[in-house]
Amino acid sequence: MKNLVADRRDLLIVAGLGSTAYDLFAAGDHPANFYLWGAMGGAAMIGLGLALAQPRRPVLVVTGDGEQLMGLGSFATIGAQRPPNLGLAVIDNERYGETGMQRSHTALGTDLVAVAKACGIAWAREIRGEGELAAFATQVQRMAAASFGLIKVAPENPPRVLPPRDGVHLKNRFRQSLGFDVN
């Protein structure tokens, strides 16, 4: 995660609930980070709304395999729009990490790269090393085409750093960082 967002520049980031939110916060808090603590299955669609609203800024959604599997249809909805400034990263440990590390569908046959490609997201790759991760980060920053990175990781449960849970605070600081007033 740290390497994925190290050179973030103008990047706007939505993090799905669970480990991806903890890891993004651990990599460094930022007002343009929007951490989810619920709304499972919604991270990619929040990213799509954000990407269409902010076409000049790169948008990255980082979420887990379980969270993305709950919103599988969002691949099709994103594929229909293909905003060039949207990158979707699924950190795939093939487990439901919050609930006892039960195997998820990606451990049981689902190929999310194939799903993304079949839905019209042409830049869709499995990512296993630092070089491939850097290529994905560069692709998101270039804003040339919607992209999907399936980042394969080992199923571990390291110590957690927890981001704020107050949704109104997270929303308001995000919007303020883009220059919008609080209602």
Partner 1 sequence: MSDTAPDQWKDAIYEALRQANVRLVAYVPDAGHARVIERVHAEGDMKGVVLTTEEEGVAFCCGAWLGGERAVLLMQSSGVGNCINMLSLVENCRFPLVALVTMRGEWAEFNQWQEPMGRATQAALELMGVKVMRAERAEDVGPMAAASLESAFRSDQATAVLLAQRLIGRKEWTK
Instruction: CB nearer to partner 1: give 56 or 159.
Output: 56
Give yes or no for a contact between 36 and 15, defined as CB atoms under 8 angstroms apart: yes
Q: How far is the CB of 52 from partner 1 (least distance, A)?
A: 6
Q: How far is the CB of 133 from partner 1 (least distance, A)?
A: 24
- The token pair that represents 125 in the structure block: 């790759």
What is the contact surface with partner 1 in residues (CB under 8 A)? 12, 14, 34, 36-43, 45-54, 71, 73-74, 76-77, 80-81, 167-168, 170-171, 174-175, 178-180, 183
- The token pair that represents 4 in the structure block: 């994925």
- The token pair that represents 17 in the structure block: 């609930």
Q: How far is the CB of 62 from partner 1 (least distance, A)?
A: 14
Instruction: CB nearer to partner 1: give 3 or 81.
Output: 81
Instruction: CB nearer to partner 1: give 36 or 127.
Output: 36
Burial group, residue 135, by CB count within 10 angstroms (0-12, 13-18, 19+) = middle
State the Cα–Cα distance between residues 95 and 90, nearest whole angstrom: 12
Give yes or no for a contact between 46 and 17, defined as CB atoms under 8 angstroms apart: no
Instruction: CB nearer to partner 1: give 27 or 48.
Output: 48
Q: How far is the CB of 65 from partner 1 (least distance, A)?
A: 18
State the Cα–Cα distance between residues 66 and 148, nearest whole angstrom: 16
